[in-house]
Every structure is written in structure tokens, then in C-alpha cells.
A and B are shown apart, each in its own frame.
Chain A
Amino acid sequence: MEAPQVTVMPVTGGTINMMEYLLQGSVFDQALESLLHRLRGLCDNMEPETFTDHELVYLLKGQQGNPFILRARRSLSHPTSPWHLRYLGQPEVGDKSRHALVRNCVDVAASHSLPEFLNEMGFRMDHEFVANGHIFRKGAMKIVVSKLSRILVPGNTENTERLSLSFLVELSVLAPAGQDTMSEDMRSFAEQLKPLVHLEKIDPSKQRH
């Protein structure tokens, strides 16, 4: 019952600015098994992890400018795990020859009162979906192959409808700002997945209409 001496004062910000490097692509359902087979060969030697997640996207409309977007994600296969709150910044407009999309990323683990807390802060849920699929790892790189499903009745994750006949493939790395060699490593890994899937840099701001 001896409490350890307190030597660490509370951490109050000042953490390293983390950036997400991202490449995306998709495969038709029929090609999924071939892709998983190739990823099992290329990635770290472990059984790929399957997941079923429920993601809610919240918007906070300010007096001016674009709304502030936060993504809250929870695991449906591990209901007692904490929620994962993620902020993604605008893509960096820099070197056009950079191979991957680079944007600021803040990840926060949160307790189960997160949705009520966000509502009290003024956030309103814009949309929600269920994602299920596989996760692979190769070093610092994470490859997620997922099927997205629309939720038909708000809050009911049992009643879903597939959004498309394909799987979303995302190759991402989380690294401190300034490590541009990451995008080179990602590009050479993406080359090994061709022609099964073409992973490329897709700017989300250009997708809006």
C-alpha cells in the first residue's frame, strides 16, 4: 500500500508536434484476399489484427472560418477500451514532390463520457460510420484495410449498410515534424503493392463540394 514518492509534476502541454503522413487507395471486394495475402508477406511477422470501430465526426462552427473538426472513435470489439479523439490539421502545402500527404495530428485518449463532453463544449455530430477490417504494421508504418458502413439509425451500430463495393486502404506513419524521409519509405513500400492497389496522395480539401 506504500505510495511511490511523487517526483513527476503534471504534464501541461509542450509535447512534440506530431505529423501524419498518409497515402490512400482502394480495392474491390474481390481483390481483398490477394491484397491481404501480399500484406501478410511484406509486413511484420504477426497475425494481422482485425478491428470493428465506430467513428463519430464532430463539428464546432465558429464565428468565422471553417468549422473545427474532431473525430471520436471507439472500438466495438473492445467496448471497455478508452475512446480515441483525433484532430487532423490542414494538409501542409509545401514541396509538391513530397510523396505523401502531410498534416498535423493530435491524438487524445479519453474516457467514455467523451460524446456528452463534446456536446457540452458546443460540438455537434455531423456524421458517423462503422469501419471494420484489418491492421498490418511494418516498422513505423501502419496499413489499414477497412470496409466503411453507413449507420442507418443514429446510434445503432448493429444496423449498418455498406457504403461501397470496395475496401479503403490507408498507409500512414505518425512522426515528429520535419522527418520528410518518411514519405520516401512509404513510396517504396507502396511500389511493392502495385498493381494490386495504387496508393497515392489524395488531398481531402479537394474532395469537398
Chain B
Amino acid sequence: MVSSSSSPGPDHTRPEAHLAGFAPVGGSSERDVRPRSCPRFAPGCPCSSLGLRLASCPPAGSAPPAASLLRSPPLLHLWIFSLWASLLFDRRRSCTIRVVLSVCQVPVSEGKSVQQTVDVLHKKLEQLGAVKQGSFCVDCETYHATGNVSGQPTKLLYVMHNSETPLSCMGLFEGGPCMIADANFDVLMIKLKSHFQNAKGHKVECRGSRYRYCDFLIKVGTVTMSSSARGISVEVEYCPCVVPGDCWNLTKEFMQSFLGPSVPELPSVFAAKPEGLFAPSDGVDTMTQYLELFNKLRKQQVPGSNVR
């Protein structure tokens, strides 16, 4: 039981106290135990719906000792859900809470083509119980600045689009500032053609299917450049949470269930922030991950890459 008289933690009589990771007053059943790494213990949570207890969940019947919660930093108590418009201009998406945890490259299976490997992933997701929900497309165009002083490296401007936010586009400089704008930014880049040349041969696209599994959104795509397949990308979102540090373990375990050993480490874009893993994530982080993947695949020479 948690005494609220002198503790700095949340008041357990308030409705959101059940999110704070400790058992409410009088609750002693297994259902009342809130696994520390699971931000939401509810019927829709994969902890219960996967029919297995994830290794990151504490053993059944145990609750974190109240004393340790009182001593733990306030951040651990912040299992709160926030509605947050991740991108400014897609009004129909403004109530979606999302963080993209991981965009990773999946190696093409031995003896199989890109398409065959993608089909294997689709089958695994369907066996898990995921439901296909249409398709997606992420693309990236590269512009070279023409007015550079000789001796300095050419500045590259990337303009990216994501079908999740069809009215927006994003301008990025690798390692530099980025900007979210509406679709007219493409028209502006056409007006700027004497100052920024479009490297048409460098356009990279990632197209594929979207799957929904409980609170997870999974997108398996084939990355193509100049009509040749360069690799496979998998994007996994845990929709209820915007803070990567709160759900990375959960998402990693979920990815292991269909990717096997190919699960990546935490994307560097989160670790690079001043606030680290506990800064809220947004669409910029998603697109930065895609850009890193596209640049990596652009430099790779993939044998037999003409197979779609």
C-alpha cells in the first residue's frame, strides 16, 4: 500500500494512479499488477493479448515495493498518455499518438529474392494475427546546392514524403536542421531549380504493406532506387506511447517474435538527443531514420538487385 501523505509520487486515489506502475489500495490479484516496463496494462496490451508474459514483465503476483517507488526519480512515475499532434498540417492525424521506434533493414534471406523475403515476413505477421491495412510509401529526393564555394563539400538537401501524412513534406539536411512544410514546398523547389538541382537518379522509394496488430503498426517495405530493389525495411510503431525509453523493451520483444535475430539496437536518433530516451518522439525522428537507411542502402552494392 502506498501512503500518499508524505510521498512525492502520484496520489493513488486519482484515476491515473493505476498507470503509475504500482498496485492500487486493496488490489492483490495478478490482474492488478502493472508490469513496470508496460506503460499500459489493459486488454489491448500485447502483454496480455500475445498470450505470453514478456520477459520484461515482473513475475505474476509481485508488485514493485512502495518504498522504492517513493525513492525513484519522478520520471518513472510518468506513465502518462498524451495526445500530441506529431505533425502540424495533417488535421485528420492530429489525434494520433505515435512514436516510431525503429526503422530497420532486414537482410535478404539466403537463396531468396527480395520479394520472397518480404513474402516470408508478411506470412509471419499474418500468422501472429496482424491484419493488413492498405499500403504505404516513403520517398526521398536529393537536391544539390549549386552555388557552393569550391573546396567546400556540396550541401545536400533531402525532401521526403510519407503517405501517413500525405499533405506534408519534410526538408532535411543530414546532421543539420529540418523543417516540416506543406505540399507546396515541392513547387517552391521547382522555382529554386537554378540554385538547387534535383538529382533525379538518386530518388529512393520505400513501398509496401501496412499491418496492424493490437497497438502496433508494422510496415514492411521494399526500398528501390532507379527501379532496382536495394533492400527491405521494417518500421514498427507502438502507437500509445510517445516516449521511446518507456516502450523500447516491449517493442524489441515484439519485433523478435517475427524478425527473429535481425532485431536492431535502439536507433541512434533517440540516443543523440540532449534529453536522451525520454524526450518525446515525433515524425522528424521517423524520417531521420528512413534517411539514414536510404543513405546506407544507396552506398551498398547489392548483387542481383534488379529483382523487384
Q: Name the contact of B190 in the complex, choosing from A9, A13, A85 (C-beta under 8 A).
A: A13
Chain B's interface: helix, strand, loop or mixed, by majority? mixed
B26 within 8 A of A: no
- For chain B, which range describes its interface: under 10, 10 to 19, 20 to 34, or 35 or more residues? 35 or more
Contact A106 B180 (CB under 8 A): no
Q: Contacts of B157 on A, CB cut-off 8 Å?
A: 121
State in angstroms the CA–CA spacing of A5 and B177 once bound together: 31
Task: From known contacts A1-B239, A85-B188, A122-B145, infer whether A11 and B167 are also in contact, taking CB-CB under 8 Å.
Answer: yes
Say if the beta carbon of B164 comes within 8 Å of chain A: yes
B118: A residues at CB distance < 8 A: none
- The distance in angstroms between the C-alpha atoms of A175 and B96, with both chains bound, is 34
1/0 contact trace for B200-218 toward A, CB 8 Å?
Answer: 0000000000101001010
Whether, in the assembled complex, A28 has its beta carbon less than 8 Å from a beta carbon of chain B, the answer is no
The chain A residue with its CB closest to the CB of B166 is: A8
Choose among B92, B146, B183, B210 the residue that contacts A11 (Cβ–Cβ < 8 A). B183
B residues 74-129 with Cβ under 8 Å of A? 88-89, 92, 96
Chain A residue numbers with a CB within 8 Å of B177 are: 113, 116-117, 119-120
- A-B pairs, top 10 by smallest CB distance, nearest first, are A10-B161, A13-B186, A117-B179, A5-B134, A11-B183, A111-B180, A116-B177, A8-B166, A6-B134, A110-B181
Measured CB to CB, the residues of A under 8 A from B are 1-13, 15, 60-63, 65, 68, 82, 85, 87, 89, 106-111, 113-114, 116-117, 119-122
Kindly list 17 other residue pairs between chains A and B, CB separation below 8 angstroms, not including A13-B187, A122-B195: A1-B44, A1-B239, A3-B133, A3-B210, A9-B166, A10-B137, A10-B139, A10-B169, A11-B183, A11-B186, A12-B186, A13-B190, A82-B88, A85-B188, A106-B187, A111-B181, A121-B145
